[in-house]
Structure 1
Amino acid sequence: MKRPFDLARVPGSLALLPLAPVLVVQGWRTVRRTPRLDPASGAEHGLVPAPGDGRGTGAAAGGPDPGAVFRLVVVGESTAVGVGAAEHARALPGFLAEALAARLGRAVAWSVTGQNGATARVTARLARGAAGEHGPADLVVATVGINDLIRRRSLRHWAADVADLVAVLRGGYGDAAVLVAGMPPVHRFPALPRPLRTVLGARARSMDRITREAARAGGAVHVPMDEAMARDRRLFAADGFHPSADGYRTWADDLARALDTDAAAGAATGAGAAKGAVR
């Protein structure tokens, strides 16, 4: 598993030079003290039945008429692959599928493609290769950014990477709506001491603004993460860096609210109809 903090990438601008020794020591201690958690296990695809259907969650086998199913794809880094949770069905993909099924009144088939430690560029490559395997989708959700932050990706290159990722998702999944999750509130991560937390948090906010602009320009929707989530320690996993199962559920509910329920329920009757259902 990738370390959640790369000591060699402590921010090093001239403005931060006086803090450099402190940041280096804090980075080193964070690496040593932060538990290494594995990605979620279990099936990487599943089906959440429509409310009242009676079928349980888990890997899809057969299932209802594909034309009646809302198809969700989650791509990205450690949060896409469920680091901090036991299995994918109880991490972001499964919980988001449950939230969408409840809001849309339809069955939701979900699948996930990602890599722990992936940057936006790596995620674009993974998504490009997986689009054919997933088939048509109604909604694609991308979670990226934390590894680009840690690796000190320049803001100019970050903007280009997000634009490329959105283009790959829009091109690979046809008429699917594309949601790009906002940067997490790094300035509140329990695993990070101050001033390291403050420095990385400020950088994350700058990246989030760029993400919003790049997503909008590419025809995707940026969904900011609710900072209030970070105030509840129970929503963090044991490493104080990734969401816990409860954190993934809370985040999934927030992402699901980015869909306009009335429009989605009325329009999403076939492949790609969710495009017009996003605010």
Structure 2
Amino acid sequence: MGAVAVRATRPAAAALAPVLVVQGAGVRRRTPVLPEAAGPRSGAVPGDGPPLTVAVVGESPAAGVGVTTQDDALAARFAAALAGRCGRAVHWRLSARTGTTAQRATDRLVPGLAGPPADVVLVQLGVNDTLRLRARAAWRRDVTALLDALAPLVAPDGVVVLAGLPDLAAFPTLPQPLRGVLGRHARVLDRELDALAAARPGVRHAPTPPLSGREHFAGDGFHPNAAAVREWAADLAGVGLSGRPAR
């Protein structure tokens, strides 16, 4: 899950620093460490017509933490949801790693997406940046650099979908006031994603569905389970195909 770093530039967190440090250590101690999902990190969903090519980059939810196999993880479910909506075959590939931040993803994960230009690129990042209380301006720079690095991998008429940050204030494994601080910071970073998408052609922001109870979480109380991932992927697919003609 990563360490919660309290920085003086975030006044509320700085004021609560002693409590947050203790709570963060307690959460790490109590929370089981789940593995990334097993299985291939590329695949194909059958369908008619020329295939839609999909690339997914991200942190632990994209890597499949919280589910058993990649078949139930975000990339494969996103591909299946796209295929179901457009009726076309979908070829997908994934580059993801637990603990990744937006800054690290640019150098460490983008090279793993090498391949045919993607019609849809899904970016799922921000939870680790939230846990580190990454400053808003730094986060915006990091995501901008990531989008610039991804640009050569996107087809001329392709789109990049920025998955919105989840509401960490709803995560049952997090105690108060840690939960509230992280929830507020996640909303700050998510607004930056929305603003970046509005300012860049071909980039779309997709709010994450609310996780409103333990029934949506894996055994660690932190990552979405298979049912939540399926719902999330369906929402993301709707944004990815919005305004795109079926072929």
Same-fold status (TM-score > 0.5): yes
Residue in structure 1 matched with residue 177 of structure 2 by the alignment:
195
| Partner-residue secondary structure (3-state), 1:264 | coil
1:139 alignment partner, one of 107, 110, 120: 120
Give 1:174 shift.
3.5
Question: Structure 2, unaligned stretches of length 5 or more?
Answer: none
The question of 1:253 aligning with 2:214 is answered no
The question of 1:69 aligning with 2:69 is answered no
Structure number with bigger Rg? 1
Query: CA 1:111–1:224 in structure 2 vs 1: closer, same or farther (change >3 Å)?
Result: same
The question of 1:182 aligning with 2:164 is answered yes
The one-letter amino acid of 2:227's match is: D
Residue in structure 2 matched with residue 239 of structure 1 by the alignment:
220
Residue in structure 1 matched with residue 60 of structure 2 by the alignment:
78
Give 1:218 shift.
2.9
After superposing on structure 2, the runs of 4+ consecutive aligned residues of structure 1 that deviate more than 4 Å are: none
TM-score by length of 2: 0.92
Q: Residues 47 and 87 of structure 2 are in contact (CA less than 8 Å); yes or no, is this contact kept in structure 1?
A: yes
The one-letter amino acid of 2:207's match is: P
CA distance in 1, matches of 2:55, 2:214: 28
Q: Percent identity?
A: 40
Residue in structure 2 matched with residue 129 of structure 1 by the alignment:
111
Residue in structure 1 matched with residue 69 of structure 2 by the alignment:
87
Give 1:137 shift.
1.3
CA deviation vs aligned residue, 1:49-81 (integer Å, no higher than 9, x gap): 128xxxxxxxxxxxxxxx711111111111111
Give 1:264 shift.
3.2
CA distance in 1, matches of 2:243, 2:17: 52
The question of 1:30 aligning with 2:27 is answered yes
Give 1:181 shift.
0.5
| Partner-residue secondary structure (3-state), 2:246 | helix
TM-score by length of 1: 0.82
Query: CA 1:15–1:136 in structure 2 vs 1: closer, same or farther (change >3 Å)?
Result: closer
CA deviation vs aligned residue, 1:141-200 (integer Å, no higher than 9, x gap): 000111111122211110101111111112232422100101111110111011110011
Measured on the aligned residues, the alpha-carbon RMSD in Å equals: 1.9
The one-letter amino acid of 2:170's match is: R
The one-letter amino acid of 1:68's match is: P
Residue in structure 2 matched with residue 43 of structure 1 by the alignment:
40
CA deviation vs aligned residue, 1:182-224 (integer Å, no higher than 9, x gap): 1111110111011110011001100000111123323311111
Q: When the two structures are aligned, how many residues end up with a matched partner?
A: 244
The one-letter amino acid of 2:45's match is: V
Question: Structure 1, unaligned stretches of length 5 or more?
Answer: 52-66, 267-279
Q: Residues 82 and 241 of structure 2 are in contact (CA less than 8 Å); yes or no, is this contact kept in structure 1?
A: no
CA distance in 2, matches of 1:264, 1:153: 38
CA distance in 1, matches of 2:242, 2:128: 32
